[in-house]
Amino acid sequence: MLSQSNPTVLDESFIINQLTEYFSKIRIVDGSIDKDALLKELKEYYHKKFSQPEYSHAEYEFIDLFCGAGGLSVGLEQEGFRPIIATDKDRSAILTYRFNRPWLTDENIIHEDIRKLVHQDIFPHVPLIVGGPTCQGFSVVNKHKKENDERNELYKFYVHSVDQSKPDIFLMENVEGILRLYDEIEEDFHAIGYITCTPLVLNAKDFGFPQSRKRAFILGINNRYSEIAGDLYRVFSQTINAHLNEYHFTLGDAILDLPAITAKTAKNATYTESRQWGYTFGGFIDAQSRYARLVNRGLPERLPLLNHRSKFNNDRDIQIFSLLRPGEKSDAESIQEINPYKNRADIFRDKFDKLLADEPCKAITAHMYYDCNMYIHPTQARGLSPREAARVQGFPDDYLFLGSPNEWYRQIGNAVSPLMARVLADGLKQVLERINRA
């Protein structure tokens, strides 16, 4: 069984090594940034941040399965929870997860397919297990679904992990399509001694967050608390519902305070950066908008500008981005002469989609790994940057994504919204407090 991490011991060498390695790759073509000075300032920033007392305190510990880049963990941490173990098979996501949690070690952040872990005695008892089994097999945007997609069975390994740890409660997150298997899921958890409550299907925009993103959440309660299970579910659902319409943020609220950049026009230049195209490390900004203060709760106003850089686009696509008006898609009359998909409008109506600043954004997804044509900035002729996508999701501005620039998009799109995770964490905390009073 793994030893639990000590949040008072920070592995700053990991942060320094990752920053140094990444800075060595970057080429600033216009000389607009002093890399040495900025690297020093970032090291000082993260040293100061993670030396704060709050990083050694937690009301409850938890395990995050299928953790990805850590969106669910962010929201829980902001509400007083602390992860002691996290698992995922995506190497770049694991690097991101660990960089932003230097109190965890390689032993406690496990880069492995969960199917290879369930027969090892590694998961200690904790009050809470959370996680979202890989969901593409259930996704409504998956055009090539398979009835027996092996990804549909990954939740069973979540079940095995819960059986090993025996937490008081668990929370499983997934796309709404997983509920087609709910009867089977309910039986599997019942067999290991857990009551599963009626799933909650929640949309981030209903809470006033700046995207339309619907997900299903299944709360499980250990049979030890069967006599109060109904009360626990009411506490959970009522706490969450109390946050409905708490805010009223739009896409513009989330991103328009970030520096303007243009689409990258240099081919095969992954680590080439400039003031025009944006930067992996863009110095520091004052994040003072109301939305920025929400996602950066507890952080200083002056924060590093990270992962805010554009993807490469050819001249034709940049022209299309310029011609489209906010709200227009591939069938817009203004682009038909140059639209490469005009003869397949029935299939590719959304291939180009210019977003509206005064409405919530469409759901941020991992498809941005391939291109951002479906996420065209409302006022600039380019796709959303990874930082803008992260803003929409609700990640703090100083949350650094590692791996390749395309992998940043995948990590952000696969993550649970930290803002939604914060709402869920409030409900989970109320449930655990009620259990402790029993």
- For residue 363, give the CATH number of its domain: 3.90.120.10
Residue 281 placed within a domain = yes
- Tell whether 94 is covered by a domain: yes
Over residues 47-60, the mean pLDDT reads 82
The answer, yes or no, to whether residue 341 has pLDDT greater than 80, is no
Local structure of residue 133 (DSSP, 8 states): -
The answer to which of 204-213, 250-259, 345-354 has the lowest mean pLDDT is 345-354
Residue 197 lies in a domain: yes
pLDDT of 296: 97
**Is there a single domain that holds both residue 337 and residue 194?**
no
Looking at the fold, whether 224 and 335 belong to one and the same domain comes out as no
Give the range of the structural domain holding residue 380, as residue numbers without chain letter: 251-414
As for how many domains the chain has, the answer is: 2
Catalytic residue among 135, 197, 361, 372: 135
Evaluate if residue 297 carries a pLDDT over 60: yes
pLDDT per residue as tens digits for the range 408-435: 999 999 999 999 999 999 999 999 999 9
Asked if 408 and 401 count as a contact pair (C-beta separation under 8 A), the reply is yes
CA dihedral angle for residue 270, residue 329, residue 253, residue 67, rounded to 10 degrees:
-50
pLDDT at 146: 45
Phi, psi of 290 (to 5 degrees): -60, -40
Same domain for 334 and 311, yes or no, is yes
Residue 57: what pLDDT?
Answer: 72
Q: Which residue has the tokens 């520091």?
A: 284
Q: What pLDDT is stored for residue 147 in this prediction?
A: 46
- How confident is the model over 72-128, as pLDDT tens digits? 999 999 999 999 999 999 999 999 999 999 989 888 998 877 777 767 778 899 999
Q: What is the pLDDT of residues 311-329, one digit of tens each?
A: 999 999 999 999 999 999 9
In this predicted structure, the answer to whether residue 141 has a pLDDT above a threshold of 60 is: no
- One domain, residues 287 and 374: yes
Q: Is the pLDDT of residue 347 over 90?
A: no
| C-alpha torsion sign, points 338, 342, 345, 347 | negative
In a domain, 422, yes or no: no
State what percent of residues in the chain have pLDDT above 90.
81
Classify strands 272-273 and 302-309 as parallel, antiparallel or unpaired.
Answer: unpaired
Residue 208 domain flag: yes
Q: What is the CATH number of the domain that holds 227?
A: 3.40.50.150
Q: Is residue 291 over pLDDT 90?
A: yes
Q: Are residues 138 and 281 in the same domain?
A: no
Overall average pLDDT of the 142-171 stretch: 76
- Give the largest CA-CA distance in the chain: 69
Give how far the C-alpha of residue 75 lies from the chain's centroid of Cα atoms, to the nearest Å: 10
Question: Which residues sit opposite 81 in a β-bridge?
Answer: 60
Let me know whether 232 and 163 are in one domain.
yes
The pLDDT tens digits of the residues spanning 203-240 come to 999 999 999 999 999 999 999 999 999 999 999 999 99
Residue 353 resides in a domain: yes
d(CA 12, CA 22): 16
Token pair in block for residue 286: 């004052």
Q: Let me know how long the chain is.
A: 438
- 191 and 324 share a domain? no
Q: Are both 234 and 179 inside the same structural domain?
A: yes
Same-domain status, 205 and 338:
no
| 197 is annotated as an active-site residue | no
- Predicted TM-score (pTM) of this structure: 0.93
Q: Using CA atoms in the order 156, 162, 164, 167, what is the torsion angle rounded to 10 degrees?
A: -170
Taking the C-alpha atoms of residue 12 and residue 105, their distance in angstroms, rounded to an integer, is 11
Residue 398 in any domain: the answer is yes
Residues 271 and 234 in one domain: no
CB-based contacts of 96: which residues, under 8 Å, 6+ apart?
69, 70, 400, 401, 402, 403, 411
> What are the tens digits of pLDDT across the range 2-47?
555 665 567 789 999 999 999 999 999 999 999 999 999 999 999 9
Tokens linked to 341: 């998909």
Q: CA-to-CA distance for 240 and 423, rounded, in angstroms?
A: 6
* 16 and 111, same domain (yes or no): yes
Please indicate, yes or no, whether residues 167 and 279 belong to a single structural domain of this protein. Answer: no
